Amino acid sequence: MKRSSGARLCATAALGALSLSLLTACSDEGSKESADPKASSSSSAPASSAPAAKALTTAELEKLLLAQGELKGYKVDSGNDTLPASKKQVKTDKPACDPLAWATAGLAPGDTDANASNTVSEDKSSAATAKPTDIEAAFDVDLTFVGLSSYEGDGAEKAMKAVSDGVTACAGGYGLAADGEKSKVTKVTAEKGATKGDETVAFSEDVDMDGEGTATFHTVVMRKGNTLASFYTVNFAAFSKGGEMGDVPAAVVDAQVAKLK
């Protein structure tokens, strides 16, 4: 199978989550990863109205992101090597699907410039001394892309509706281009996510793995007041094989939402 941008994603993400020795293994064994894994999308919880508030700035959102040491058993990285810098780098062939693609990339799913993101991964620092036979187990690591965005007026509610509407409109899939690499989401499915804050939309996406079957990714978007938090998780071991990525870790969601005002 051709080596895709998924392998590069695995390598750069591993830089912040694993040792340099395991980074080499990621490059060697990640060739079956898809060009741009898209979280499968799905369902939403009932929305509740919240008083309009002034949008937070990007600087304020950065302070609200989970920081290193705030969640036991997890490592926090800036995500500069894994997350796109702007929406211009993430394009779909169906405008209604844009909010889904943005949410999986840690970008604001709605109309705002106030956006901050990072990555949170399981802390498997002991993997640095793992024996060769333990490599696969060491790469059984969940990496979660976390994005925060803030909106004026009812912008947050509109952004949540755009995500929810996108899950329905894009059920049959869509094409995606990110950093010059193209991939195909073949199916989007609404899922039932635990309600946190004021409103929740959860969905899964089946992604074509370069013709070698599909992989299923999960995304959760939550609203607390006029701030949205998005979560998208990749598991390195599952990513290299295709199949189910597993759910977004509840511990990451709970800890991040608890920090929002």
DSSP notation for 6-35: HHHHHHHHHHHHS-HHHHHHHHHH-TTS-S
- pLDDT at residue 218, as a whole number: 94
Residues 6+ away with beta carbon under 8 Å from 124? 17, 18, 138, 141
- pLDDT at residue 177, as a whole number: 87
Which residue from 130, 146, 124 is spatially nearest to 14, judged by alpha carbons? 124
* DSSP element (H, E) containing 182: strand 181-191
Amino acid at 11: A
pLDDT in tens, 153-190: 999 999 999 999 999 999 999 999 887 788 899 999 99
Can you spell out the DSSP letters for 93-113? SSGGGHHHHHHHTTS-SSS-S
- Backbone phi, psi, residue 189, to 5°: -130, 130
Q: How far is CA 54 from the centre of its chain?
A: 26
- pLDDT at residue 247, as a whole number: 87
CA separation for the pair 187, 199 (Å, rounded): 23
- pLDDT at residue 67, as a whole number: 95
Q: In the numeric block, which tokens belong to residue 140?
A: 């059984």
- pLDDT at residue 241, as a whole number: 66
- pTM reported for the whole predicted model: 0.77
- pLDDT at residue 36, as a whole number: 40
Q: What is the CATH number of domain 5-259?
A: 3.40.1000.70
CA separation for the pair 241, 243 (Å, rounded): 7
DSSP helix/strand/coil, 117? strand
CA separation for the pair 48, 156 (Å, rounded): 11
pLDDT in tens, 113-125: 999 999 999 887 7
Cβ–Cβ < 8 Å for 245, 144:
no
Cβ–Cβ < 8 Å for 34, 183:
yes
Cβ–Cβ < 8 Å for 147, 117:
yes
CA separation for the pair 106, 170 (Å, rounded): 19
Pairing mode, strands 115-122 and 142-150 = antiparallel
**Tens place of pLDDT per residue across the chain (261 aa):** 333 344 334 333 333 333 222 332 333 344 334 334 333 333 444 444 545 578 999 999 999 999 999 999 999 998 777 788 889 889 899 999 999 999 999 999 999 999 999 999 988 775 444 454 556 666 778 899 999 999 999 999 999 999 999 999 999 999 998 877 888 999 999 998 767 789 999 999 999 887 778 889 999 999 999 999 999 998 877 766 666 777 899 999 999 999 997
Cβ–Cβ < 8 Å for 142, 235:
yes
